[in-house]
Structure 1
Amino acid sequence: MSKVVHYARTGRTGVITVEYPPVNALGIDVRTGLIRALEAGLADDGADVLVLTAAGRTFMAGADIREFGKPQQAPGLPEVVARFDASPKPVVAAIHGTALGGGLEVALACHFRVALRSAKVGLPEVKLGLLPGAGGTQRLPRLVGVRNALDMIVGGDPVPAAAALDMGILDVVEDGESALEAGLRFAERVRTEGLPARPVSRRDEKIAGTDPAVFADYRAGLAKRAAALFSPHRCVDAVEAAATLPFEEGLKRERDLFLACMDSPQRAGLIHAFFAEREAAKVPGLPAGTATRPVRQVAVIGAGTMGGGIAMCFANAGIPVRLLEVTQEALDRGLAAVRRNYEASAAKGRISAADVEARIGLIHPTLSYDDLADADLVIEAAFESMEVKKAIFATLDRVCRPGAILATNTSTLDVDEIASATGRPQDVVGMHFFSPANVMRLLENVRGRRTAEDVAATVMEVARRIGKVGVLVGVCYGFVGNRMLHQRGREAIALVEEGASPAQVDRVLTGFGFPMGQFAMLDLAGIDVGWRIREERRKAGDPDALAPNWLDRLAEQGRFGQKTGAGVYRYEAGSRKPLPDPEVESLIAAWRAEKGITPRTVSDREILERCLYVMVNEGAKILEEGIAARALDIDVVWIHGYGFPAYRGGPMFWAGQVGLPAVLEAVERYHATLGGSPWQPAALLQRLAREGGRFGDL
């Protein structure tokens, strides 16, 4: 039959079993095996009903990632799906784990679908810049109606079995542990009750008479929230075809739209982002299977916005946390903020009231360092001052048990210098969370010069446990993300000095796909944060520190951003919408006059090039220095920590799509006109541009 798909009979029921670990992906062997097993079942006179199931931990979970980017071999998935759809014998799909993408499309081609209550189903292709290409956009609306189908296909999120039953995707949901047994029971019902086995492709009741306004409304919503994305709009087109064309014509329309998505640069960017996130967890030079240290009890130092958010990350994962502050007032304030955050989530239906209390119950407040003695992992989230952090780590060195991991949440400071305050530098590591820590997915783990391998492996495993995307980087000012952001910020500030407005700079960046512009982001984070860091660098005599600028003058006036109602922009009470402020325009004009700068017209193209190409050049230097092991690590940091549009694949991947010769030409041009080390072309960029390579080739 097939090494990965088997056919057998149980009584009068033929059973087709897919066994292709780990997730029964629909590779060529599975596709071929499914057709052969179906043919065997149809030829078996002793079987009058067929059950399609899968071995292992899940049903079929979609395409085989090992075939991505390669020419598809026949039979393709649409042919497999068509064969099941046309089966003269009833076929029952028995689902456990997940039925995603092509896996759900195969199930939709069956006559009935049963699932365990723990299962989930979905069509997530949109997240890879695609749409379901094997009939999913044509069959799903026929089961659940147009609106539900649009939400599932355009959103791409999986649906729990209970909800799928209510929607009409599933016929039965069971609480047992065996999907096969559930399928066999349903097959017996088909036999004894004579349940009508009508293919989904022939069910038009749910889409008959669909109001065309549904599609117009959906497109209007997409224009607001996803105007720049290609595949979501094609998904709407495909579902519209289901409601307006005969089934076979709808399939042809779906196929044309699928191929259009395949040709889109966004598909390449999203697939790169998908694989890069997976690959980032595999650290070069860190042996596979490196032992990790147990992390059962965590402590967080600092109950401010960052510390409280970090504590929530662990409580959300069921890991007890001790939260330390220096005063009862600060501790109470921090715990109150944590409770408000949880209660806000409960009010939105994301967690239950019981979840709120259970999670808060895992966070244990303390004012004493002695209470951290049994912690397996301690994360310092105090003020961004080397003096403060070294004092904290000297105390931790004294009170923490041997083998405890001592982590700093610093976003810029030298992890090796912080470690020097202890007698155990091998246990010290950076764990740079992004604000708000309980929301942002990135965890930039920083390996110091003497950080032990098992410590590095442990913090990467901890990232996975708490639902973060972990990336391991080396020590330098700002590590990967903030080091590149520093260069973008330098250019943004200079562009305004030269004649651009903050709003123009932000408009160009959001037009590129960032959720926020440089200056709106600074207002959100707090202008005072960067201002104090710049002041510290200037006092230390750092040659790369920015000279005083108009943004510092705003901070000196107490305009710290959203928290004070005024920063680069002004904010009305209760609103986060940035509004241009004439006072800022006057301050910038006065600054220019003071510095003898005559403002000029700055083009959008120059803004985009200077803000992004300087990042790419800095990223190349980061790779040269070994701060990041791979270009994909930089891409993952920027996608998950700074909102770089995933459909562009990250800054280093995007640079390859633009063309490294073009990037280098611009970097050299700006170096000639602007000077300065940020525009000094990276040797790696020069070499790859000369050789026709890309950063991903390294």
Structure 2
Amino acid sequence: MSVITTRREGEVLVVTSNNPPVNALGQAVRAGLADAMAEAAGDDAIQAVVICCEGRTFFAGADITEFGKPPVGPSLPEVIDAIEASAKPVVAAIHGTALGGGLEVALGCHYRIAVASARLGLPEVKLGILPGAGGTQRLPRVVGVAEALPMIVTGNPIPAAQAGKIGLVDKLVAEDGLAESGVAFARSVIGKADHPVSSKRTDKIGEIPSDSDFFDEFRKTQMRRLKGFEAPEACIEAVKAAIDLPYEEGVKKERELFGKLVTGTQSKALRHVFFAERAAAKIDGIPADTPVLPVKKVGILGAGTMGGGIAMNFLTAGYAVTILEREQEALDRGVSIIRKNYERSAAKGRFTADQVERAMGLLTPTLDMNDLADCDLVIEAVFENMDVKKDVFRKLDGIVKPGAILASNTSYLNVDEMAAETKRPGSVLGLHFFSPANVMRLLEIVRAAKTEPAVLKTAMDLAKKIGKVAVVSGVCFGFIGNRMLSPRQRAAQAMLLQGAKPWDVDKALTDFGMPMGPFQMSDLAGLDLGWDKANSKSETIRDVLCERDRRGQKTGKGFYDYDENRRPSPSKEVEAIIDEFAAKSGLEQRVFSQDEIRERLLFPMINEGAKILEEGMAQRASDIDTVWINGYGWPAYTGGPMFWADTIGLDKVVAGLKAHAAASGAEPDICKLLEDKAAKGETFN
């Protein structure tokens, strides 16, 4: 069956795409649209055209699997130009999402109608490119530069109602009978002498001069999001071309900018990230017919920062949640913080007051563990201590109904040991949320030795429902993310004894694109995590800092000094403490370049990632990239640690590991998988 079909509704030709799952604009769809427009042009009985889609969405974008392959015509720009050039009015009837090339098709139409639930956007920037089929030139001419620029540069879609207000949608119609509404609208515009703003009817845009302060002010508001990314600046340049150049020349500029981006490293990295997140949802070794267990009620042990954040994920998604604490004061405080978090989000427009009350109405606070008995899933978020967690699992096993899933929100500990405390090890797994749990997208799902396939599949399904990006990990210390973090932290500490300063080490990583460096991260988390005042003997730099009450941001000083707004500055006191330890170590003091600091920090992470793959603790290298981008702020435009290693060359990583080990007088501990791949010129991805 053809992916594009046509049918006559009197004098209107209805062109329909049926290319599941999202009507991507692959070659067959493009050819079908071109043929349909030729059919309309060649038949005098046809007076108007309606373009619509079957399934759950309008065209949701180009087929990105075609990127990097030889082009097969007709191209999308050619098809859209043919639509726009039609002497007969063409109406786009939009439902679901009109994204990227999909919105560019709609912009080539003379009119756009949409159902209220539709969303429209140009998200190409998130793949490291820009709209390449006239979108940067048509959208500003239709809605104006002030409305078009944020849509193009941020890539965030807008709802149909907003699209109606800015002139992107001509009419909002009922959810049912979209094609019929399109036909009725098309009949109403047959014979009109002129249509709304068309790209070729407006030579240039006079609304905002390209040299106005508007663009610099826009950059300032978006600076944090744009830093390090190439595509947003190219998008701004393309929109400026729409202001300064006639449409035909502006499109040439758009194509030139698109060509540079699509062949660049950042776009390849961001496309890798796109596919990596989707690949992470696939679980090795689970039959396709494995059932998903029903989960309606969730229990959470611990109403602290982590427990409360986890609870919010489920409450927001509409699950009933019972949250347990040992003392009334802690329980009240936890519930109060959950409400404050919701109200803060509501004040920013993310929730309505009704949605806040609905979420809070699903929450049942309790001091009695027996109230968890009828939960379908119970997650413990108690103190990170194995004895404490084992005790919790023994108790839960005796209380919670058979068939329910028991999960640990541990960051490091062995989930198999916890499962062994129960009579249902097949129902036990790890759910490692990242703090703040109601904000961070990553969820590491820890597959224990005896976790049943249905339990793992249910956890992956739940992750999607609560808006998380889930990655499966095996049982090992620190799982994927924290395990790779450990060698980085050790390398950072080692450099302090050889002459590096904390702020120089941190700067090397923040310049690379990380949100913070190892010492900034330690100050944020608190230097006294796991530190025992009673047994502290000034044996490490951290011991001395904690003994002097330099415990991080919470005490106003840690590796850095902090002002009243928690802004950091280098500390003379810390420098003196480090110098004392360096002198005692007897190690040669030297200056590190920023490049060498980055290698010393990041190459051991790549090595650890290779060990994780070699041991089968991660299913694929791209899963590791997904963990680090979504859980630790690794810059997405590098594709993640393993993709970045592929980019710079695994031979360079191995040579660096050997050189840095020799400089420290140590034996290199290089993973065999990494060494073998480097020797063969292979990559992880």
TM-score, normalised with respect to structure 1: 0.94
2:174 maps to 175
Match of 2:556 in 1: 565
One-letter amino acid of the structure 1 residue matched with residue 339 of structure 2:
R
Equivalent pair of 1:297/1:321 in contact (CA under 8 Å):
yes
The 8 Å contact of residues 93 and 107 in structure 1, kept in 2 or not, is answered as yes
Counterpart of 1:423?
423
- From the superposition, tell whether residues 557 and 292 of structure 1 become closer, same or farther in structure 2 (CA, over 3 Å): farther
The amino acid that maps onto 1:462 is L
- Aligned residues of 1:493 and 1:551 also touching (Cα < 8 A): no
Name 1:434's counterpart in structure 2. Answer: 434
Number of the residue aligned with 2:577 = 587
| The 10-residue stretch of structure 1 (118-127 or 282-291) with the greater mean CA deviation from structure 2 | 282-291
| Counterpart code for 2:109 | C
Map residues 481-500 of structure 1 onto 2, 5 A cutoff: 481-500=481-500
CA distance in 2, matches of 1:80, 1:234: 24
Aligned partners of 1:51 and 1:91 also within 8 Å: yes
Q: Secondary structure at the match of 1:356?
A: helix
Alpha carbons 1:7, 1:41 under 8 Å: kept = no
- Within 5 Å, give how 1:304-383 maps onto structure 2: 304-383=304-383
Instruction: State the one-letter code of the partner of 2:417.
Output: E
1:241 — aligned with what? Answer: 241
Q: State the distance in 2 between where 1:215 and 1:431 align.
A: 44
Q: What is the rounded CA distance, in whole Å, between the counterparts of 1:515 and 1:280 in structure 2? A: 24
Total equivalences in the alignment? 683
Q: Say which of 614, 620, 635 aligns to 1:624.
A: 614
CA offsets, 1:389-412, max 9 Å, x none?
Answer: 011111101101111111000000
Matches within 5 A, 1:191-210: 191=190, 196=195, 199-203=198-202, 207-208=206-207, 210=209
The Cα of 1:195 is off from its aligned counterpart by 6.3
Q: Deviations over 1:165-188 (max 9, x none)?
A: 111111111233232122112112
Aligned to 1:140: 139
- The CA deviation string for residues 415-474 of structure 1, in whole angstroms up to 9 with x for no partner, is 111112212111110000000000000000001111111111111111101000000110
Aligned residue for 1:300?
300
> 1:193 Cα shift?
7.0
8 Å CA contact 2:496–2:582 kept in 1: the answer is: no
The alignment status of 1:606 with 2:576, answered yes or no, reads no
Say which SS state the counterpart of residue 568 (structure 2) adopts: coil
- What pairs with 1:448-527 in structure 2 (closer than 5 Å)? 448-527=448-527
Asked whether the equivalents of residues 238 and 257 of structure 2 are also in contact (C-alpha less than 8 Å), the reply is yes
What is the rounded CA distance, in whole Å, between the counterparts of 2:183 and 2:200 in structure 1? Answer: 24
Aligned residue identity for 1:468: K
CA contact (8 A) 2:141 2:197 kept: no
Q: Tell me how far apart the structure 2 counterparts of residues 138 and 13 of structure 1 sit (CA, whole Å).
A: 29
Partner of 2:65: 66
Counterparts of 1:399 and 1:526, CA distance in 2: 35
Offset of 1:517 from its aligned partner? Answer: 1.4
Residues 51 and 92 of structure 1 are in contact (CA less than 8 Å); yes or no, is this contact kept in structure 2? yes
Q: Is the 8 A contact 1:427 1:451 kept in 2?
A: yes
Cα distance, 1:221 vs. partner? 4.9
Alpha-carbon distance in structure 2 between the residues aligned to 1:559 and 1:331: 30
Aligned to 2:165: 166
TM-aligned CA deviation for residue 535 of structure 1: 12
The range that moved more, 495-504 or 137-146, is 495-504
Summarize the Cα distance change of 1:566–1:439 in structure 2 as closer, same or farther, 3 Å threshold.
same
Q: Partner of 1:643 in structure 2?
A: 633
Output the CA distance in 1 between the equivalents of 2:376 and 2:189.
56
* Structure 2 equivalent of residue 541 of structure 1: none
**What is the alpha-carbon distance in structure 1 between the residues aligned to residue 34 and residue 609 of structure 2?**
48
**1:90 lines up with 2:89 in the alignment:** yes
Aligned partners of 1:54, 1:630: CA distance in 2, in Å? 35
Identity of aligned residues (%): 52
For the residues of structure 2 that align with 1:245 and 1:549, how far apart are their CA atoms? 63
1:12 equivalent in alignment to 2:11: yes
| 1:370-390 deviations in Å (ceiling 9; x for gaps) | 000001100010111001101
Give the 5 Å matches for 1:272-291. Answer: 272-291=272-291
* Change in CA separation of 1:384 and 1:557 when aligned onto 2, cut-off 3 Å: farther
Question: In 2, Cα distance between the equivalents of 1:433 and 1:182?
Answer: 46
Alpha-carbon distance in structure 1 between the residues aligned to 2:168 and 2:206: 14
Q: Secondary structure at the match of 1:20?
A: coil
Equivalent AA in structure 2 for residue 610 of structure 1:
R
Cα 1:530–1:442, aligned 2, differ >3 Å: closer, same or farther? farther
Give the distance between the partners of 1:581 and 1:362, measured in 2 at CA.
48
Q: 1:309-328: CA deviations, max 9, x gaps? A: 00001001111111101100
Is the 8 Å Cα contact of residues 47 and 89 (structure 2) preserved in structure 1? Answer: yes
Whether the 8 Å CA contact 2:646–2:683 is kept in 1: the answer is yes
Runs of 4+ in 1 over 6 A off after TM superposition: 192-195
Q: 2:624 aligns with which of 628, 634, 659?
A: 634
Q: Which runs of 5+ in 1 are unaligned?
A: 539-546
Aligned position for 1:542? none
Q: Residues 176 and 427 of structure 1: is their aligned pair in 2 closer, same or farther, counting only changes over 3 Å?
A: closer
Q: What per-residue deviation string (whole Å, max 9, x for no partner) do you get for residues 468-489 of structure 1?
A: 0000110011011000001111
Structure 2, unmatched stretches of 5+, are: none
